[in-house]
Structure 1
Amino acid sequence: MEEGPNPSTDYFVVPFLREAGVKPVRCTFSQLPPVGELQGAAVIFVRYVPAAWKALIDGQKTGEPAVYFFMDDDLFDWRSFSNMPLRYQFKILRYSHSKQNWLKSVGAQLLVSTPYLQQKYVQWQPQLLAPRPLPQQESPLLTVFYHGSASHGADLRWLRPVIEEVLARDENLAFEVIGNKSVNRLFQGLPRVHVLHPMKWPAYQALIRRPGRAIGLAPLLDSPFNRARSHTKFLDITRAGAVGVYAQSPVYSGVVQHEKNGLLVPMEGRTWVEAILRLAGDEALRTRLLEGARACL
């Protein structure tokens, strides 16, 4: 049971279970399994014990699950987090600190991350877990990116379902976007999305000089504002060492030659999904198109 994907589970708990030959079912605060599934099972609470899960275990009539609690911070001693932001203090008090007596009442086994915690809570007889490296990905992630400003809000909203499907169909892709809190909310819940803070022009120029980006996106909805734009996205994407998927519009058709220095695609979501996945799966095509784009600079 975890609040969501997090390093505590990935570095400590999952390797511990893997070495024990166990394949865990990962649940969040709100993902409650049917009561019968807990019979004879083991529940590991990673850092936090939400009320709904506590009630679920308390309501178990037979075959009570074995309970474990893992912590990689000192969540049981208020003095250790009293200088933290108030919101974080309240979270620890609510989900961790206040659950100590309950954990003891159900005979929970304490799992800890450091010898310091093991020694501090020695009366609980905690088990020390060592961190393990994450499994190596068979293939490196390719970064797909869209670097638009606040004036591109409508284009970003249009792009969101495209990115959702792309990331679902190819786990070797990550998405990078520049934006504020509203952009972060827009893409919240999607895997492998990195939202960068807006930045000044010199900082952005330094950003795109760093290698690592493969596919740049330049969607453009037909609107009076967008019709007046120039094709500078072509310059940014090419300078980043990436190949572009561009909206089929007069803004880009004057510089982008389809299949020669980029892909010109109509603003249809399905078509964009297939174009991005095609580029991601064809390194030779990306190399050829990038060479064509660089020849235009």
Structure 2
Amino acid sequence: MTRVRERLARWIERRLPQPRLRQGATGSPRRPVKRIIVFGRIPNPTFDYYLAARLEAPGMPPYEVADIRGRDTPALNADGAFVVLCRYASPSVLRWIESNAKHLSGVGLFLDDDIPAVVTGKDADFLYRLFLWYRALWPLRRLNRNLDIVWASTPHLASRLARVEAIILPPAPAKELWRGDGSDGDWHCQSNGDVLIGYHATGVHLEEHRFLRPIIAEVLRARPRARFEVFADRRAKAIWHGLDRVQIREPMPWAEYLADANTRRIDIMLVPLSPSHVNESRSPTKRIDAARYKAAGVFSESIAYGWSRDTEELRIPYAADAWREVILQLVDDDELRRRVAGAMHQTVLQMTTAADTGLEVLEGRQV
């Protein structure tokens, strides 16, 4: 039955709208770029992790950001503007692009998820799939008439967008986005001696919640000083009921999530990824979240986080025994947590330096 469902999902997925470049597009701006306009549901992590710091890079044209959640598009100067759509579009934005097409220097789309795979997958709830259809897939039927460039967050996602020859744009967060107070260290357990373990998931990781639940139950039984917090939506909450020393938190708006790390630390951050069609296109942005909390991250061996063991960063197979053993080691060993957090800190610092290149396809095209 599972294989039948998967084949059906792939069949539907192939028939969903996909990005296509307009006729005559060259994968570069049509004319010199005077300014950049970013449309999206902003603020959001996609803009902050991939675009914000790059737009501030030396040599980039001036830019402005427009939130698409209002009914009307704000007054914007289209003359020589290059439009970047951050995942989503709205009817008003599509109308604005179409009415100003002759004045624009081009239109680009940035994607950081395999959205057709999420829509046809089994973990996202119905309302989120409907939202993705309405804001990310259905608009492509109109957007493709004006689309010049597509950026993708990972090589695997770019391979799924082969027809548009997507440009790979890995995460490059501004340093202040994950270093909060500016410190480079201060990795420690809670002041009361407890060790806080966190799993901050979105609503499309139901399988990973189920995977972690028995592991965390054993860790909490074996280590009285361990505590656990989990971000869980309506469906995932039920998985975690009945465990002591577990705090179930509601997912919060992006700005609140950023502020949350300014007042506390998490000792161990868990980032499991089940082997799945959707997860093959994931990018390693959870490293950034873990670094913000100064946590020791534990990551699944995966396309997103790699398999190499030649580092202090912890990447382990998606197997319950392996995860239980590593979490127990981290709970017991303050120095190990410090080393693991420090190694991850250096990895995120390298990600940050990638922002210096800006959006290269636009950088040399300005007037």
What is residue 169 of structure 1 aligned with on the other side? 222
Instruction: Please list the CA deviations of residues 239-264 of structure 1 after superposition, one character each: whole Å capped at 9, or x if unmatched.
Output: 1110011101121017xx54734211
- Deviation of the 1:159 alpha carbon: 1.1
| CA deviation map 1:42-90 (0-9, x unaligned) | xxxxxxxxxxxxxxxxxxxxxxxxxxxxxxxxxxxxxxxxxxxxxxxxx
Q: Give the aligned residue type for 2:223.
A: D
2:340 alignment partner in structure 1? 289
**Partner amino acid for 1:287?**
R
Alignment of 1:201-240 (within 5 A): 201-240=254-293
Q: In the alignment, which of 314, 320, 325 is matched to residue 269 of structure 1?
A: 320
Conserved 8 A contact 1:179-1:195: yes
How far did 1:192 drift?
A: 0.4
Q: Secondary structure of the equivalent of 1:184?
A: helix
How many residues are matched? 159
Q: Which residue number corresponds to residue 188 of structure 1?
A: 241
Q: 1: distance between equivalents of 2:333 and 2:269?
A: 15
Q: Which structure 2 residue ranges, 5 or more long, are not aligned? A: 1-189, 350-367
Question: Taking structure 1 as reference, are residues 139 and 202 closer, same or farther at Cα in structure 2, changes over 3 Å only?
Answer: closer
Deviation of 1:280 (Å): 0.9
Residue type matched to 1:272 in 2? W
**Alignment match, 2:114:** none
Distance 1:204 1:295 in 2: 22
Q: C-alpha deviations, 1:199-243, integer Å up to 9, x for none?
A: 111111111233231000000011111111100011111111100
The CA RMSD over aligned residues, in Å, is 2.0
Specify the code of the residue in structure 2 equivalent to 1:227.
E
SS of 1:217 mapped into structure 2: strand
Same amino acid, percent of matched pairs = 33
**What is the alpha-carbon distance in structure 1 between the residues aligned to residue 309 and residue 197 of structure 2?**
19
Question: Paired residue for 1:131?
Answer: none
CA shift at 1:138, angstroms? 11
Structure index of larger Rg: 1
Q: Counterpart in 2 of 1:260?
A: 311
2: distance between equivalents of 1:239 and 1:218? Answer: 14
Give, in whole Å, the separation in 1 of the partners of 2:289 and 2:214.
Answer: 24
Give the whole-Å Cα distance in 1 for the aligned partners of 2:194 and 2:312: 23
CA distance in 1, matches of 2:259, 2:310: 29
Matches within 5 A, 1:76-155: 140-155=193-208
1:160/1:187 contact within 8 Å kept = yes
RCO comparison, higher one (Cα < 8 Å, 6+): 2
CA contact (8 A) 1:143 1:175 kept: yes
What is the distance in 2 between the residues matched to 1:179 and 1:249? 23
- Code of the residue aligned with 1:260 in structure 2: it is T
AA aligned to 2:339 is R
Contact 1:261 1:289 in 2 (8 A): yes
Q: Distance in 1 between matches of 2:337 and 2:310?
A: 10
Q: Which runs of 5+ in 1 are unaligned?
A: 1-136
C-alpha distance in 1 between matches for 2:328 and 2:346: 24
Deviations 1:153-212 (A, max 9, x none): 111111111111111111111111111233222111111000111111111111123323
Counterpart position of 1:12? none
Residues 145 and 175, structure 1, Cα contact 8 Å, conserved in 2: yes
When the two structures are superposed, what TM-score results if normalisation uses the length of structure 1? Answer: 0.51
For residues 247 and 291 of structure 1, the distance between their equivalents in structure 2, rounded to whole angstroms, comes to 18
Counterpart CA distance in 1 for 2:221 and 2:235 is: 22
Return the match for 1:249 from 297, 302, 305: 302
